[in-house]
Amino acid sequence: MNRPAAPNTFRSGPDEQGMFGIFGGRFVAETLMPLILDLEDHWNKAKDDPEFRAELGALSTHYAGRPSKLYFAEGLTRHLGGAKIYFKREDLNHTGSHKINNCLGQILLARRMGKTRIIAETGAGQHGVASATVAARFGLPCVVYMGATDVERQAPNVFRMRLLGAEVKPVASGHGTLKDAMNEALRDWVTNVEDTYYLIGTAAGPHPYPELVRDFQSVIGIEAREQIVEQEGRLPDAIVAAVGGGSNAIGLFHSFLDDAQVRIIGVEAGGHGLQGEEHCASMNAGRPGVLHGNRTYLLQNEDGQILDGHSISAGLDYPGVGPEHSWLRDTGRVEYVPILDNEALEAFQVTTQLEGIIPALESAHAIAHTMKLAPTMDKDQVIIVNLSGRGDKDVHTVAKMMGMEI
């Protein structure tokens, strides 16, 4: 593959057309085009509006509990015997994951746009819960589309959404996972254009979603940067995050993209291995294509039909990835590596036992790679891992994998 020339900065994208190099764009039906242009307009006004920033800042502090902590994982560090490992504790946020950062930002946008109904898609249910939460907080009806397979494997989150007053609509098409939920959410949006705001959960979809979701999530990296300088007196040597659609990862990465000394690693779901189709490593085993409003790396066959993929983690079970990640891959700024289901499962258990923290299976992928990386580094080096969510939602899945009934 021809590698594009390294830009002066990795932090200026997307361009006016919503492109990161050849990735991104606005590949949507005409019905949605005026809505997307309207959203872009409101977003451009909101992002520089001190009033919007202040409102979001206050909610982030008092409702979501920001800033999230940067925690030195001493037990895991000692166990691995290499670099010092820090966890960025997004699991401690209200609703238990990084998803609330984006949802608070977007619900404020929806209100500015005068929208009265919220729709969202969800995989693991973390984004669905966060969407249902902000919808409840602001008194707006909310419909969450969720693949039928995911409804089954993430039952606790389904119940949480319903408690919060959201309507959860199971989607049976395809494998009943995140891709199918997103298709159905787009069909709802194209039908209910007047009153409905589509609250996309990851840094993907048509422009301006990849940009605005990244900006709402970039608080993770902005805080982590300050916190590590405060605690270690310098920048980290490596930062690691799991990538499904890639919102927690781009949120951590964005502040560090122009710091050449910081190695940046995104971890994809390797499922049962990259040889077959039972994985979700779009950037390691896919190729560029167009789906869900953007051009990006996709798992697909030679006819351009999208594959379903597989991951133990419902949040990573998506055949695509946000377009900025595709661009960061091709420019070589960020490395993307796969982690297998069983490696993630082991990291899940080790972290629970050594740190007393049950990580989400998504985050366990990032920890699993860190467990490979840390022993190869010096003891005075530093790694930050994005602990993007807590794992309570995954205990049923893990018990099943371990052959236990609970």
Partner 1 sequence: MTTRIDRRFARLKEEGRPALVTYIMGGDPDFETSLAIMKTLPGAGSDVIELGMPFSDPMADGPAIQAAGLRALKGGQTLKKTLELARAFRQDDNETPIVMMGYYNPIYIYGVERFLADAIEAGIDGLIVVDLPPEMDEELCIPALKAGVNFIRLATPTTDDKRLPTVLTNTSGFVYYVSMTGITGSALPDTAKVAGAVARIKAHTELPVCVGFGVKTAEQARAIGASADGVVVGTAIVNAVANVLGPDGEQTADPAEAVATLVSGLAQGVRGARLAAAR
Instruction: Report, as residue numbers or ranges, the catalytic residues.
Output: 99, 121, 388
State the nearest-atom distance from the C-beta of 149 to partner 1, in Å.
16
Going by DSSP bridges, is the β-strand pair 167-171/142-147 parallel, antiparallel, or unpaired?
Answer: parallel
What tokens does 210 get? 């990849």
State the nearest-atom distance from the C-beta of 134 to partner 1, in Å.
25
**Cα distances (angstroms) measured from residue 89 to each of 47, 70, 71, 303:** 25, 6, 7, 42
Q: Which of 12, 13, 8 is nearest to 322 (CA)?
A: 13
Which is nearer to partner 1, 292 or 390 (by Cβ)? 292
State the nearest-atom distance from the C-beta of 292 to partner 1, in Å.
7
Which is nearer to partner 1, 59 or 299 (by Cβ)? 299
What tokens does 16 get? 């006016």
Q: Which amino acid makes up residue 38? A: D
- The DSSP-derived string for 68-104 is PPEEE-HHHHHHHTSSEEEEEEGGGSGGGBTHHHHHH
Element housing 132 (H / E): helix 126-137
Which is nearer to partner 1, 35 or 213 (by Cβ)? 35
Q: Which amino acid makes up residue 63? A: Y
What residues have CB less than 8 Å from 333, skipping those under 6 apart? 6, 10, 257, 264
Please state, in angstroms and rounded to a whole number, the distance separating the CA atoms of residues 72 and 107.
33
State the nearest-atom distance from the C-beta of 198 to partner 1, in Å.
12
Which is nearer to partner 1, 28 or 283 (by Cβ)? 28
DSSP state of 389: B
DSSP reduced 3-state for 10: coil
Q: Burial, 241: exposed, middle or buried (Cβ in 10 Å; 0-12, 13-18, 19+)?
A: buried
State the nearest-atom distance from the C-beta of 118 to partner 1, in Å.
18
| Contacts to partner 1 by CB under 8 A | 17, 25-35, 173-174, 179, 183, 186-187, 190-194, 289-293, 295, 298, 300, 302-306
State the nearest-atom distance from the C-beta of 300 to partner 1, in Å.
7
CA angle centred on 387, ends 386 and 392, rounded to 5°: 160
Which is nearer to partner 1, 18 or 266 (by Cβ)? 18
DSSP state of 141: -
Going by DSSP bridges, is the β-strand pair 287-291/293-298 parallel, antiparallel, or unpaired?
Answer: antiparallel
Which is nearer to partner 1, 287 or 379 (by Cβ)? 287
Which is nearer to partner 1, 19 or 76 (by Cβ)? 19
Alpha carbons within 13 angstroms on the beta-carbon side of residue 221 total 25
State the nearest-atom distance from the C-beta of 80 to partner 1, in Å.
41
Torsion of CA 159, 267, 63, 67, to 10 degrees: 160
CB 110 within 8 A of CB 197: yes
